[in-house]
Structure 1
Amino acid sequence: MIEIHELTKRYRSTQAVDDLTFTIQPGRVTAFIGPNGAGKSTTFRILLGLDRPDRGRALIDGRPYVQLDHPVRRVGALLDANAAHPGRSARNHLLCIAQAAGISTTRVAEVLELTGLNDAANRRVGTYSLGMRQRLGIAAALLGDPAVLLLDEPVNSLDPEGVRWIRRLLRELADDGRTVFVSSHLMSELQLVADHLIVIGRGRLVADTTLAEFTADGRSLEDAYLDLTDDATQYRTGRTN
């Protein structure tokens, strides 16, 4: 389970997260949505111990990430698909993570197969397409067979087969009782897989509800979301007549 309680973080003049409180339950896919600059990435970074909050708590199974035993086995995360060194092969990249975390090398073979990278496992990451790098980032997140997953835009750059695969994977992970917390701007995809929604805008909680309740009036997730967050959108394109 993930618990965010009164989380607050400011970067100089920017209030990234503002008194944010919510809980993410296991056994369901929870979508984390909001306009650009809403505070989603900051929340993820604080959850993973990469940033410190000014106030509040971000807990995974009742503890901060840095206090977890074997955190790579407890929490899988995808924040940046370009994190792997371009000169390493995908297999070597995963083997290094596995060795540092005390994970069996057989698990490396399993996630390469699971993510469809087995045939390209010995190629340098620098030769990978964006979609292949995304698959490698997901493989790294799954490496420890974690009970909690934090995935930031997991379908970015994936082809249609990859998008469908991610959709099935998220559903299977949640049905297996895991905590799945996923951020994405692709509302049509989230509508197909999400059980619960956490909506934020300008660092504050806007909605904490089920997908069914959010779209109960028959509108699409995208339309309901845009109406709800209209006042929280900081960056707008010019409108045409």
Structure 2
Amino acid sequence: MILAEQLSKRYGRTVAVDGLSFAVRPGHVTGFLGPNGSGKSTTMRMFLGLDRPSAGRALIGGRRYDSLRHPLREVGALLEGRCAHPGRRAAHHLLYLARSNGIPARRVDEVLALAGLDGAAARRRGRGLSLGMAQRLGIAAALLGDPPVLLLDEPVNGLDPEGVHWLRALLRRYAAEGRTVLVSSHLMAETALTADRLVVIARGRLVADSTVDDFVAGAPSLEDAFLRAVAG
């Protein structure tokens, strides 16, 4: 489970996250929604130990990320698609990550094939990857440790329609296997197709934590329900 408990983050006088509490449970694809500047990215960075909370706790499986001995085997994360060194081949990038987390080298070939990057694509260097290929590599890295938790920020960015369809099916399959999946996105139509639960924040505070159906009830679409919820 992913858990935020009275989570806050301040940068000087600016409050990015303000007393945020919610839980993301296994067995669901949970969409993480909010306007620009709402605190979504800051919250995800605190879950991954990249930002230290000013107050409260950000826990994954009851522990802080920086306490995990082999983090890639417990949490798969994507915050930025272009994560590979520009001079390193795609396969070598994943092999380095695998070795650093005690993951068998054969898993590299498995996730490259799963992400559609086997063959010639695996030998391309980071600088030679298109935006979509770089995004697929970032997703492959998140899947590398076969983790029980996935935490992805705008994962369909740069993917073509076939890639979006592949990722949607993958996330729903992972949730059906009892894993915990949190996906941040600005794409309301895609979130409506992929997620079955939502956490919505605005101005660093929780606005909604519910099923998609309950959140949309009485509104023409998820987009309309979202705009209504974050107004003001």
Partners of 1:42 and 1:159 in 2: CA distance: 27
Deviations 1:119-172 (A, max 9, x none): 210111101110100000000000000000100000001101001111101100
Q: Is the 8 A contact 2:219 2:225 kept in 1?
A: no
Number of equivalenced pairs:
231
Moved over 3 A (4+): none
Q: Is the 8 A contact 2:98 2:108 kept in 1?
A: yes
1:48 equivalent in structure 2: 48
Partners of 2:12 and 2:106 in 1: CA distance: 46
1:13 positional shift: 2.6
Q: Is the 8 A contact 2:76 2:142 kept in 1?
A: yes
Partners of 2:80 and 2:64 in 1: CA distance: 21
1:161 equivalent in structure 2: 162
1:239 equivalent in structure 2: none
2:228 equivalent in structure 1: 227
- Give the alignment's TM-score, normalised by structure 2: 0.98
1:235 equivalent in structure 2: none
1:68 positional shift: 2.1
Partners of 1:77 and 1:158 in 2: CA distance: 17
2:138 equivalent in structure 1: 137
Deviations 1:79-100 (A, max 9, x none): 0111210101100000000011
2:93 equivalent in structure 1: 93
- Structure 1 unaligned regions, length at least 5: 232-241
1:196 positional shift: 0.6
Letter in 2 for 1:54: S
1:115 equivalent in structure 2: 115
Partners of 1:140 and 1:93 in 2: CA distance: 9
For the aligned residue pairs, the C-alpha RMSD in angstroms reads 0.8
- Structure 2 unaligned regions, length at least 5: none
The answer to whether residue 200 in structure 2 is matched with residue 202 in structure 1 is no
2:217 equivalent in structure 1: 216
The answer to whether residue 35 in structure 2 is matched with residue 35 in structure 1 is yes
2:83 equivalent in structure 1: 83
2:185 equivalent in structure 1: 184
1:218 positional shift: 4.9
Mean Cα deviation higher: 8-17 or 215-224: 215-224
Letter in 2 for 1:203: G
Letter in 1 for 2:144: L
Partners of 1:141 and 1:49 in 2: CA distance: 16
1:217 positional shift: 1.8
2:60 equivalent in structure 1: 60
Partners of 1:52 and 1:193 in 2: CA distance: 30
1:236 equivalent in structure 2: none
Partners of 1:68 and 1:87 in 2: CA distance: 29
1:69 positional shift: 3.3
The answer to whether residue 69 in structure 2 is matched with residue 69 in structure 1 is yes
Partners of 2:42 and 2:210 in 1: CA distance: 21
- Secondary structure in 1 matching 2:199: strand
Partners of 2:190 and 2:83 in 1: CA distance: 25
Letter in 1 for 2:53: P
Partners of 1:63 and 1:47 in 2: CA distance: 10
